[in-house]
Structure 1
Amino acid sequence: MNARHLTDTLRGRLIVSCQAPPGDPMRETATLVRLALSAAAGGCSAIRANEPEVVAAIVKAVNLPVIGLWKDGDTGVYITPTVRHALAMVEAGADVVAADATDRARPDGSAFSELVNAVHSAGALVMADVATLAEGIAAAAQGADFVSTTLSGYIPGTPKQTGPDLALVVSLAAAISVPVVAEGRINSPGEAAEALACGAHSVVVGTAITAPTALTSRFVGALSHGPGAGQEDSVRG
């Protein structure tokens, strides 16, 4: 799928992140495939998924574009941290490779542009996961096909909030010509629609759709501690 076709496919549409953290009962390939099939049945336009085995299985089962990433570790740059991880996503069948494009050092010392060039040469597109406006501008300049707000609020120095960073969506949409994807702490259909109104090309939702463990804990927290409790445990989509 070429960049123009995929851009048109995702315009104004929902991408569902079908992931589960280590130790979660949902973290099993067949289960995540069923989540992806359910999301497709509900009308989403693409799936975002983690790890080669899961991405390959979802690509085989679901007739939608797949955004693949590979989380390796849990500190520093760990979302598709190296060219090797990125090319494994292409090999698994991902149409788009999502990768950390923050200004932090990559574990192999490479530049984000090297990852972009390698993925493009392999025939896929790149989604840059950023935390700030400057990072989004830099990622676009280095050839990213999409820029996503995924990491805002999860990197020191970025705003901590319970909802999406819509201010970053507005700033990125005004500053760059590549499509801006709103991702991170989008907890309701209303927030998803608001992200589009702020200039997002498309929206990624994860926890609010595909994470029963996290959702259950919010309800348990609210019942245990009163109104407003349990609302700050949103995890990245």
Structure 2
Amino acid sequence: MNPVLDAVRGRLIVSCQAYPGEPMRDPDTMCRMAQAVAAGGAAGIRAQGLEDLRRIRAALDLPLIGLWKDGDGDVFITPTLEHALAVAATGADVVAIDATGRPRPDGRTLAETVSAVRDRTGKLVMADVSTYEEGLVAAEAGADVVGTTLSGYTPYSRPGPEPDLELVAALAAELPVPVIAEGRVHTAGQAAAAVEAGAHAVVVGTAITHPTTITRWFAAEVTRAGA
């Protein structure tokens, strides 16, 4: 197995991202966040944005999954080959791309994009999918790892407040490549359950690195209790 994937086997990857317009939407802040979670035991980092990735790469030696969120269409996670090549150029070890069945803005197929990234950069490709069928297609297209990142975030995938462990288990049992659990993993127990379901590694973002959302969770519970 590739050393990058081997380094995160059975371990936690932390997603360090902030939404546009938020106080923490700053590359230096995200770099410091990455350093903080590394100190806490994160085995890898997932981050978005070229400058964020460059700073994190310069600060840490941990495996780095990079992406570039751009555009206002359905496909906005590293939506084109141009975006993918730019992410690879930051030093990220893995390039994460939208691998759903939706049309890509540059007209390329998933297989064409995966092949071009690997041939031109030598980087690993993580396919973010939303369904079992998409996971099968992604692996056949040559993706090095498949993530359940987009389950519940496409109109045709399974919605819900909890991680899609059923999808994790189904893909892990079928695919010849590692499956990374990602999406709505909000507790340590859920993260452990994902590994028990067959996940190679687990990505946690909001529950660790998004204080605005975490504060809303606590505030809602306190308000409910005091009503």
Distance in 2 between the 1:74 and 1:195 partners?
A: 31
Distance in 1 between the 2:178 and 2:98 partners?
A: 16
Match of 1:138 in 2: 137
Does 2:80 match 1:49?
no
Displacement of 1:221 in angstroms is 2.1
Task: Map 1:27-176; keep pairs closer than 5 Å.
Answer: 27-121=25-119, 122-176=121-175
Distance in 2 between the 1:113 and 1:223 partners?
A: 48
Displacement of 1:219 in angstroms is 1.6
Distance in 1 between the 2:48 and 2:71 partners?
A: 12
Match of 1:15 in 2: 13
RMSD: 1.2
Distance in 2 between the 1:112 and 1:56 partners?
A: 25
Does 2:199 match 1:203?
no
The aligned amino acid for 1:147 is V
1:104-146 residue CA offsets vs partner (Å, 9 max, x unmatched): 0011111111221122121100000000000000000010000
Distance in 2 between the 1:163 and 1:101 partners?
A: 21
SS of equivalent residue, structure 2 residue 202: strand
SS of equivalent residue, structure 1 residue 107: coil
Which 5+ residue runs of structure 2 have no aligned equivalent? none
Displacement of 1:211 in angstroms is 0.3
Distance in 2 between the 1:172 and 1:36 partners?
A: 29
Displacement of 1:74 in angstroms is 4.2
The aligned amino acid for 1:174 is A
1:13-66 residue CA offsets vs partner (Å, 9 max, x unmatched): 110000001111111011100000011111111100001111011000111111
SS of equivalent residue, structure 2 residue 2: helix
The aligned amino acid for 1:92 is T
The aligned amino acid for 1:52 is L
The aligned amino acid for 1:144 is A
- Identity, in percent, stands at 55
Matched positions, count:
225
Distance in 1 between the 2:25 and 2:102 partners?
A: 28
Q: Normalising by the residue count of structure 1, what TM-score does the alignment of the two structures yield?
A: 0.92
Higher alpha-carbon deviation: 145-154 or 118-127: 118-127
Displacement of 1:12 in angstroms is 0.2
Distance in 2 between the 1:211 and 1:204 partners?
A: 14
Distance in 2 between the 1:116 and 1:159 partners?
A: 26
The aligned amino acid for 2:118 is H
Match of 1:223 in 2: 222
SS of equivalent residue, structure 1 residue 186: coil
